[in-house]
């Protein structure tokens, strides 16, 4: 955030940063029965991600599903999706899930963080505490959170911090003090889940006010609260997470199902009406301190060249 904002000078006198749109397109829960629009196979996810990026998203939050549409941590599926999206949108910021709702061992949860070269994710999700969802509990012990955060820091992956209630923002500070969270901070504030903080402007404001000043933040609303929380974030200088992972409907009251692209386009329209430009993926990379996608390409190309030179040398007996 900037100095004028910290002094309480309101928008539009305080110029806000360009809006980073994070598209959460699949998630763990929605099935084909819930909506025909949820992308499930790697091919569907790649196509949908590309549509969302072209519509204005700069981050895509990925969950892999297996052949039966069930959530999986298998890294070859993440690899296929990341390479497929990068081939067409090299600057897009790609975030993998480390959710423990189905598989709660460190090896399973950290598997997608192991990907190398061009398939290495830019970000990984990191929920900073345990909570109850209507379907099940999401258990994130302090040891697990710390181990995942350290793995990300070791690998140069930025955590997409998920905070469902104020205690999880306090945990950000504890982990900063302990030297576990050291890099750029990007905090998603997710409100409106049945057993966590409700999606009110009061709750959102309190959580935003308690963030470390250096943090970038985004707001997400679960289900019927998505549009309200996204709009509030645009007005407050935050960023937005939107997509079918959190909400299946374009119009919740009428139960009109949405596509991910429609949800992104609505946020882009709102943002433009409310006087905020939308960040392109390369601009979002600069804001979050990530290397440019082109450089990343270059690095993985260099790595590939070194590897093939090595293979060449060993084949020629050098």
Measured from the CB atom, the residue of 237 and 245 that comes closer to Zn ion is: 245
**Nearest residue (beta carbon) to Zn ion:** 97
Q: Closer CB to Zn ion, residue 1 or residue 145?
A: 145
Q: Smallest gap, in angstroms, from Cβ of residue 268 to Zn ion?
A: 22
Phi, psi angles (nearest 5°) of residue 88: -100, -25
Question: Cα separation of 310 and 318, whole Å?
Answer: 9
Q: And the tokens for 119?
A: 């398939």
- The residue among 1 and 60 lying less far from Zn ion, judged by its C-beta, is 60
Query: How far out from the chain centre does Cα 124 lie?
Result: 7
Burial 61-74 (b: 16+ CB within 10 A, else e): bbbbbeeeeebbbe
Residues 189-208 that bind Zn ion (CB under 5 A): none
* Number of residues lying near Zn ion (CB under 5 A): 1
Closest CB 99 distance from Zn ion, rounded Å:
6
d(CA 140, CA 125): 12
Taking CB under 5 A as the binding criterion, the range among 89-97, 116-124, 211-219, 310-318 that sits at the site for Zn ion is 89-97
Pick 97 or 138: Cβ nearer Zn ion: 97
Residue 55's nearest CA partner among 23, 87, 80, 96 is 23
Contact 223, 192 (CB under 8 A): yes
Minimum separation from the CB atom of position 148 to Zn ion (A): 14
Contact between 229 and 221 (Cβ < 8 Å): yes
Beta carbon of residue 103, minimum distance to Zn ion (angstroms, whole number): 14
Task: Report, in Å, the least distance between residue 62 CB and Zn ion.
Answer: 8
The piece of 38-46, 76-84, 96-104, 218-226 that touches Zn ion (CB under 5 A) is 96-104
How far apart are the C-alpha atoms of 75 and 181, rounded to whole Å?
24
Q: Which is nearer to Zn ion, 37 or 276 (CB)?
A: 37
What is the C-alpha separation between 46 and 44, in angstroms, rounded? 6
Secondary structure letter of residue 108 according to DSSP: H
Minimum Å distance from CB 95 to Zn ion?
8
CA-closest candidate to residue 61, choices 37, 39, 43: 39
- Specify the stretch interacting with Zn ion by CB under 5 A; choose among 93-101, 164-172, 217-225, 256-264: 93-101
Q: Is 185 exposed, middle or buried (0-12, 13-18, 19+ CB in 10 A)?
A: buried
Closer of 237 and 243 to Zn ion (Cβ): 243
Max CA pair span of the chain: 70
Q: Which stretch binds Zn ion (CB under 5 A): 94-102, 175-183, 236-244, 303-311?
A: 94-102
Query: Cβ closer to Zn ion: 97 or 296?
Result: 97
Closer residue to Zn ion, CB minimum distance, 22 or 271: 22
Of the ranges 14-22, 47-55, 97-105, 219-227, which one interacts with Zn ion (CB under 5 A)?
Answer: 97-105
- The C-alpha atoms of residue 9 and residue 54 are separated, in whole angstroms, by 33
Q: How far is the CB of 203 from Zn ion (least distance, A)?
A: 20
Nearer to Zn ion, 60 or 208 (CB): 60
Segment interacting with Zn ion (CB under 5 A) among 67-75, 95-103, 185-193, 232-240: 95-103
CB of 193 to Zn ion, least distance (A): 12
Least distance from C-beta 13 to Zn ion, angstroms? Answer: 36
Q: Token pair for residue 64?
A: 């892999």
Helices (H), 56-184: 75-88, 106-110, 142-155, 166-177
Binding footprint of Zn ion on the chain (CB under 5 A)? 97
């Amino acid at each position: 955030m900037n100095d004028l904002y910290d002094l309480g000078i309101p928008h539009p006198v305080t110029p806000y940063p360009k809006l980073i749109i994070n598209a959460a397109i699949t998630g763990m829960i929605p099935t084909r029965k819930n909506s025909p629009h949820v992308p499930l196979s790697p091919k569907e996810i790649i196509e949908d991600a590309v549509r969302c990026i072209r519509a204005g998203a700069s981050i895509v939050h990925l969950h892999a599903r297996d052949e039966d549409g069930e959530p999986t941590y298998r890294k070859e599926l993440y690899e296929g999706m990341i390479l497929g999206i990068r081939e067409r949108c090299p600057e897009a910021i790609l975030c993998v899930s480390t959710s423990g709702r189905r598989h709660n061992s460190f090896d399973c949860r950290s598997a997608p963080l192991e990907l190398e070269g061009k398939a290495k994710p830019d970000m990984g999700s990191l929920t900073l505490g345990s909570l109850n969802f209507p379907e099940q509990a999401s258990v994130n012990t302090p040891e697990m959170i710390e181990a995942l955060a350290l793995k990300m820091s070791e690998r140069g992956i930025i955590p997409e911090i998920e905070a469902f209630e104020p205690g999880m923002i306090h945990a950000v500070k504890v982990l900063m003090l302990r030297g576990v969270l050291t890099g750029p901070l990007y905090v998603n504030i997710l409100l409106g889940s049945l057993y966590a903080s409700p999606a009110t402007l009061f709750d959102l404001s309190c959580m935003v006010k308690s963030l470390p000043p250096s943090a970038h933040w985004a707001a997400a609303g679960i289900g019927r609260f998505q549009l309200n929380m996204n709009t509030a974030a645009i007005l407050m200088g935050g960023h937005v997470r939107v997509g079918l992972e959190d909400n299946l409907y374009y119009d919740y009251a009428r139960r009109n199902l949405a596509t991910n692209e429609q949800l992104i386009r609505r946020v882009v329209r709102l943002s433009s009406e409310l006087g905020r430009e939308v960040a392109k993926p390369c601009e979002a990379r600069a804001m979050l301190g990530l290397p440019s996608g082109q450089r990343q390409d270059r690095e993985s190309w260099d790595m590939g060249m070194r590897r093939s030179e090595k293979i060449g040398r060993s084949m020629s007996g050098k």
